[in-house]
Every structure is written in C-alpha cells, then in structure tokens.
Amino acid sequence: MTPGQFVQETSSAGEWKRQGNRFTGRISKDSTAAPGAGPDDQGRWPVEPGRYRLIVSLACPWAHRSIIVRRLLGLEDAISLAVVDPVRDERGWRFTLDPDGRDPVLGIAFLAEAYQRSDPAYDGRVTVPAIVDTLTGEVVTNDYPQITLDLSTEWTEYHRPDAPRLIPEDRAEMDQLIDEIYRDVNNGVYRAGFATSQEAYEAAYDALFARLDALEERLGDRDYLLGDTLREVDIRLFTTLVRFDAVYHGHFKCNRQKLTEFPNLWAYARRLYRLPNFGETVDFDQIKRHYYVTHHNINPTGIIPKGPDPAVWVTP
C-alpha cells in the first residue's frame, strides 16, 4: 500500500482518520481567571478584547469558518487576525506577509513555535485555525468546531448591534445537521482524498454523495439549511462547497459530479457567496496553491490547475 499523505493518520485499512485537537481551552465570559491571567482551573480563559490573536490560512476550510463568523459578528477589533502562507512545508504554517517573515504581534516565524511553547512534547500536525494568547504566546485552542461557537456565545458583549444570531435557541436540529455534514462532507472529502485503499476511498465517496444528494433535496424549498435564516451550519457547509469544484472534485477524486451540477446546492452556495463577508473572504488562488502544492503524494508534479473560472460564482 502506498504511504498516505499523513502517515500517522492513516489506518492499516487505508482509511484516513483525522487527528484530535491538542489544545481545547475555552475563552469564556464565565471564566474565573482575572484579567491578564492564564486559564482558570477549568481551562477557561477570560474574555478580553485585544488580547487574543486568531491564526488562519485563507486556504483552509476550517479556518475560513472562523474568518466569516468573526466578521459577521463584528469582532475584528476584539480579536486580531494573522494570515499564514498557503504553502505549508515540513515546518508547518509560516508567517510570510511581513518583510522579516515574522508575525508582528507574536514575533514568531512559524505557528509551530507557539505550539512548542505551549507543549514542548507535541509532535502532531500543526493546524489552523488556532487562537494564541498574545500575553504568554501560548495556544489557547485549535479546537476549530468550538472556536466559532464560542465567538457567537462568549463574546456577545463585543458583537456589532446588528450581528446575526447564528445559533438558534433550540440547537437539536442544527447540531444533528452539523454532525452529519462534518462526517460525510466537511471531513468526507478528506477521507476520500487521503484514502490509500480502494475500499476506503469508495466508502468515503459514497457517503459524501449520499449526503450531498440529501442536502440537495433539503434545499429544494428553503434558502438556508434550517429555513429562512442564516445559521452556523450554513457557514460550515459553505466553506467546503466553495472549494469543491476547484479542489475536491479533481484533487480528491470526488468526481461523480461538480457542485455546479447540483441545481439547489449550486444556487444556495452562490446565494451565500454574494452575502457580505462570504465571497469577499474567498481566495481561490491561495486555496489552489495550498492543496496542489502541499500534497506531494497526491500531486507530485505540483502543477496548479488554471480553472475553474471564479466568475461563475457571480453569474445570475
């Protein structure tokens, strides 16, 4: 069997199993920690505007969620943002936007430096998004599913007055959808793309398109997944859909059909793309450069495809 892209996360049966999140601290309005202090006994850090830095890659769908939510809620002044280079090498995510190649706030060249400062024994993949405490230089969390939920629930004092309510009072239906979409779609494209056996690939492929078929049907009579209101689950689906034809269809062999060939999903994705803070946060160049240049086992030539044309996202 050919080695997978991430050997430590590939099973003997060729299935790709995503690593867990190493840092799971919570920035909470209920924290008992004093301002300027580290986490309390329950691992909760205090809500302090200006203290934390959100580290993202514009290529990464998990990080893209946090970019959109932060902007929708108006938290730009409360939580600063750092963008890493889309091309990740064996040293991990790099800060390259400043002339000296270091993040101007944290003073580090690689996100891995903050990981090592927080846990010198850590030897897993360094992932984004991550929230880093600017006072200590330590990683508070890289728990991407929880980061966006906490932005909605713990930072309410600093939300813009007209911020959307992304989490409904009754979360049961949304949480079930989130779980299904994560398993079969958000993570499903990776399970297909990083599989190293035919059986593992086909299982992920079949689950992916079965879920997309169900979502296509669900969107036949509504604008958003839960009706007529934008919710967190829509953001989570969007960041996968916007990468589908550019990356997952070809690079990850998710090629039963393109997103543009699902009438309801394609209309839904374009509707979201046109909303403030959605399309303007999409960078197709960085998305393609990351996937096609970084995954050497899948694309050894490093050739980046020219298409598809991003203009299709703004056509009527």
Active site (catalytic) residues: 60, 190
**Cβ–Cβ < 8 Å for 169, 151:** no
Computed on alpha carbons and rounded to an integer, the radius of gyration of the chain in Å comes to 19
List phi, psi (to 5°) of 308: -80, 170
SS3 content of the chain, % helix, strand, coil (to 5): 40, 10, 50
**Cβ–Cβ < 8 Å for 290, 128:** no
**Cβ–Cβ < 8 Å for 287, 246:** yes
Which string of b and e fits 7-27 if b means at least 16 CB within 10 Å? eebbeeebbbeeeebbbebbb
Count other C-beta atoms under 10 Å from residue 190's C-beta: 19
**Cβ–Cβ < 8 Å for 55, 93:** yes
Distance from C-alpha of 60 to C-alpha of 243, rounded to nearest angstrom: 9
3-state DSSP call for residue 4?
A: coil
Distance from C-alpha of 75 to C-alpha of 69, rounded to nearest angstrom: 9
Count other C-beta atoms under 10 Å from residue 252's C-beta: 25
Distance from C-alpha of 79 to C-alpha of 31, rounded to nearest angstrom: 17
**Cβ–Cβ < 8 Å for 197, 13:** yes
Distance from C-alpha of 283 to C-alpha of 264, rounded to nearest angstrom: 23
